[in-house]
Amino acid sequence: MLQKRSWLVASLLLVLVSAAPVAQSQGRFTPPTFGPYTVGDDYFLGNYAQLQAYFAKLDQESDRMKVVEVGKTAEGRPMIMAIITSPENHKKLDRYRDISRRLARAEDLTDDQARALAAEGKAVVWIDGGLHATETVNAQELFLMAYQMVSQNDPETLRFLNDVILLLTPANPDGMDLVSNWYMREPDPRKRSTAAIPRLYQKYVGHDNNRDSYIANQPETEAINRLLYIDWIPQIMYNQHQTGPVGAVLFVPPFRDPFNYNEDPLVPMGIDLVSASIHNRFVTEGKGGAAMRSEAAYSTWYNGGERTTAGFHNQIGILTEIKGDPTPIEIPLVLDRQLPHQDLPLPLPPQKVWHFRQSIDYIISANRAILDVASKHREDFLFRIYRMGRNSIDRGSSDYWTLQPQWIEQAKAAAAKEAAGSAATRSGRGGETRVGEGVPVPMKYWDLMRTPERRDPRGYIVPADQADFITATKFVNALIKAGVVVHRATGPFQVAGKTYPGGSYVVKAAQAFRPHLRDMFEPQDHPNDFFYPGGPPKPPYDVTGYTLAFQMGVKFDRIIDAFDGPFEALPLTPLKPVPGKVTAAAKPAVGYLLDHRVTDAFVATTRLLGAKEEVYWLKAPFAVGGKTYPAGTIYVPNRPTTRPFVERLAADLGLTFETTAVKPAGDAFKLRPMRVALWDQYGGSMPSGWIRWMFEQAFPLAFDVIYPPALDAGNLAAKYDVIIFPTGAIPLVDGAAGRESRDEGSAPADLPAEFKDRVGSVTVATTVPQLRKFVEDGGTIVAIGSSTNIAYHLGLPVTSALVDTTAAGVERPLTGDKFYVPGSVLQASVDPTNPLAYGFDETADMMFDRSPAFRLGPDAPLRGVRPVAWFPTSRPLKSGWAWGQHYLKGTIIAVDATLGKGKVCLLAPEITFRGQPHGTFKFLFNAIYYGGAHVVNVAQAGTAIR
């Protein structure tokens, strides 16, 4: 939240004064008119407060519309949804919602029963706008769409109301208020702009609020997921965005390949069906400039955006990307978009002036096209979602193989080798024989791909006896928030000769949302995708590998054959942590041991230090009572205040503290509270925002946000012990923008005074000398992703490993046709004896998103620079796409470096990626406390009490 709001208050008063009261209606209903403006006029944006009030007014005036509160935003605003349908349908709303859910779940229904429910039910269509708040067309469209649906009485509208239940939802209330008020703060309409807002338009994550859907870290996402996958489960959902292709007005599906092979094939077919209705309406209405497929990069591979997660729930997810702005724009002339073709059937001539209302009218046409096809094919859509759910249940309860691109490539290679051998035998000489598209091969290669061990699992077991069961429960909560049915064992059970404890989680594959649960447990195998053979890769829509169980470090077993046990179905509400315990021990109790492998042990550490308890990391393994505790084990000496405190921690966090009557011997790191700063900059950084969310919500820690001017001012060691630089903060050279470092442009000339201390960037010339002094004086720098560039500026013995050498002997970065990893999960080796990696196993899964990798100089050991994690093999890929991955063999991706009195922790992978990879959060948490710890003899620590 902003500390100062003078500009916000002033602009809000300006809007509300000019808007009140709303103009009197010339009929039964009042159009969305505010002062001199009607929504859709150039140079005007209504804010969320106005939308909320307007929806409430329509709710009072109309028996077609009911407004319900569905959650709270990150800033505490109420989230609302308008349910729009005929008055007769409103009387039976609970029944129609139940039908929608029953058909989507597809459980305990025959086809005939499903058809009867489809005949009785109403199609449910979700439309949301404003998820990305600077994409203003879509939030403003909500005013006018609601007005038209309650006020119009033409036959088409009445048909929509009779056949369809419309869920009309503003997706980002906080952002809508921020952006609209920022735009309207300027008295001169022609100077208004949505650019350069001072912070992210979702409190923590900005644009990444549309990358949160499969984990639902943010409250807005959790509320939307509950509506989409638990409460209503609509057959069609439409997620509106901006901006369209240059020279066109908007992008409308169908999407380009690849589509994710975990989805039911009826999903892309349904997208094609609904999209054809939209394109047909545009052409019929003479609205040119609607592009599709190859005209943009959008695909359905990535399961994380709101409309893509829908496809893994058998819903038809529609995305549009439209041009438009309250300040009139130009549609420029792009010659290649003037000739009609399959992906742009009706080009639009260039437009010198394109008005805001024109874009809104396009989106309303798209809305009506979706309602039209949903109305005309109401029963079909209801039965289709049942059919897909039934398909998933059948596939999850029988032997089934989901073919993978790599299996097909292996079969091609084997067939080509056999064909080449046969040709050589016949001809007496060797030669190349290619097996590719359209070339038949013997049926034995079908059997080669479908071996028994490659069958899809009948389910997954998440054992309760894994070290970090708390994080495993968080993973299960992500599944539950996405509507996946999870069971819990009520007692011990055996499957495939292995015994599992009671409390273990069981996820059966035989359920309607099988595509989603597979995508969360199984590796993604993204096909090689190039513009042409030997050419550069086609950039994917988003990351290509993201398996959530891998990212979170969850231990689970894939169960290939049918199984059962003493299982109870859990409710579709997130689980609370199971209360932990403080174990008993022979008296006197000298202290408590806490497993460093448990990520939430960081929260306990922070709270213990805040309560002035002593906390140590043991440097060597500790054996007591027949059990050996590894290096890094957390030790808390017992004092009169300690036992009650650890008991509260155990109850609150689900942690287990093991009481010891034997004091550890040898050296240990004694921890102390740390003064932490997190880099950010004007306009906001999404990677920084995710860490801020971690520190404020998930793993509470006191910290300051620090901006470049404060870094440049120096004297940093007097204020902070640790400074964290996420991806995008540290440039390689001055003037180079960090990837993903900025959400919305640079600061405007008329910037309000309270934001001026945020303006600027980290520079090599000014900032780096201050950072060097900070470290040499004893501070710790934690650099993540591209911000590991700091290593070069500080002269550490580190070089990039992702380079090749030209014929002239010049090193240059590897080109994409040689090496390309656009967001994938890779497996690395880790040194768990290094304090930076305490709590890790010897291998860990890392999110590698166009990340750096290093080689250390020969003098690195002498200079106190040590490798902590590296890729030991030429095939580290675990999920996603890693072209040229052999270049990674032997490269270093985590480094522990000493400089002067301080530390530099280089963490090349995206260890905090979108708040998802709990399995690598420990790198950050360890780094925070490591630099400020000092080595003591633990035998001298604390005093034994009782």
In angstroms, rounded to a whole number, what is the distance separating the alpha carbons of residues 391 and 883? 34
Distance CA 140, CA 147 (A): 12
Tokens of 155: 């036959």
Q: CA-CA distances (angstroms) from residue 19 to 35, 77, 516? A: 4, 21, 45
CB contact at 8 A, 248 and 348: yes
Question: How confident is the model at residue 57, as a pLDDT?
Answer: 97
Partners of 830 in the beta sheet?
A: 869
Q: What is the sign of the dihedral through the CA atoms of 710, 714, 717 and 721?
A: positive
Residues 212-231 have pLDDT tens digits of 999 999 999 999 999 999 99
pLDDT tens across 574-618, in order?
999 889 999 987 788 999 999 999 999 999 999 999 999 999 999
**What is the predicted pLDDT for the residue at 749?**
82
- pLDDT digits over 151-194, tens only? 999 999 999 999 999 999 999 999 999 999 999 999 999 999 99
Mean pLDDT of 193-218: 97
Q: At what angle do helices 173-184 and 136-151 cross, to 10 degrees?
A: 110
The pLDDT of residue 583: 94
Average pLDDT over residues 753-777: 96
pLDDT band at residue 503 under the 50/70/90 scheme: very high
pLDDT at 750: 84
**Under 8 Å CB-to-CB from 540, ≥6 apart: which residues?**
297, 299, 301, 302, 526, 529, 822, 823, 881
User: What is the C-alpha separation between 518 and 321, in angstroms, rounded?
Assistant: 29
pLDDT at 16 over 60: no
Least confident stretch, 202-216, 288-302, 339-353, 725-739: 725-739
Q: Put residue 857 in one of left, alpha, beta given phi > 0 → left and psi -120 to 50 → alpha.
A: beta
The residue written with tokens 């054959």 in the block is 561
Look at residue 452 and tell me whether its pLDDT is greater than 90: yes
- Is 838:602 a contact under the CB 8 Å cutoff? no
Tracing tokens 């240990």 back to the chain, one arrives at 668
pLDDT band at 704 (very low <50, low <70, confident <90, very high): very high
Average pLDDT over residues 350-358: 98
| pLDDT score for 873 | 98
pLDDT at 746: 74
How does residue 13 score in pLDDT terms, banded at 50, 70 and 90?
very low
Mean pLDDT for the stretch of residues 535-545: 95
For the chain, how long is the longest CA-to-CA vector?
92
Q: Is the predicted pLDDT of residue 744 greater than 60, yes or no?
A: no
pLDDT of res. 588? 87
C-alpha to C-alpha distance for 119 and 114, rounded to whole angstroms = 9
Region 63-78: mean pLDDT is 98
Which residues fall within 8 angstroms of residue 53, CB to CB, at 6 or more apart? Answer: none
Output the average pLDDT for the chain: 93
Query: pLDDT exceeding 90 applies to what percent of the chain?
Result: 89
Predicted pLDDT at 23? 37
Question: For the residues 850-859, what does the mean pLDDT come to?
Answer: 97
Q: What is the pLDDT of residue 735?
A: 72
Report pLDDT digits (tens) over 628-665.
Answer: 999 999 999 999 999 999 999 999 999 999 999 999 99
Question: How many separate helices (H) and strands (E) can be counted in the chain?
Answer: 25, 42
Which residues neighbour 699 within 8 Å (Cβ) at sequence distance 6 or greater?
599, 600, 602, 603, 606, 921, 925
Measured over the CA atoms of residue 207, residue 213, residue 216 and residue 221, the dihedral's sign is: positive
Least confident window among 43-57, 192-206, 438-452, 903-917: 438-452
For the residues 818-827, what does the mean pLDDT come to? 97
Q: Strand 65-72 and strand 78-84: pairing?
A: antiparallel
Mean pLDDT of 506-535: 96
Per residue in 241-293, pLDDT tens?
999 999 999 999 999 999 999 999 999 999 999 999 999 999 999 999 999 99
Tens digit of each residue's pLDDT (9 = 90 or more) over 108-142: 999 999 999 999 999 999 999 999 999 999 999 99
Q: How far apart are CA 586 and CA 595, in angstroms?
A: 20
Q: Categorize the per-residue pLDDT at 475 as very low, low, confident or very high, splitting at 50, 70 and 90.
A: very high
- Distance from C-alpha of 80 to C-alpha of 68, rounded to nearest angstrom: 6
Residue whose C-alpha is closest to residue 640's, from 944, 234, 915, 889: 944
pLDDT tens digits for range 25-56 = 335 899 999 999 999 999 999 999 999 999 99
Q: What is the pLDDT of residues 413-446, one digit of tens each?
A: 999 988 887 755 544 444 444 566 678 899 999 9
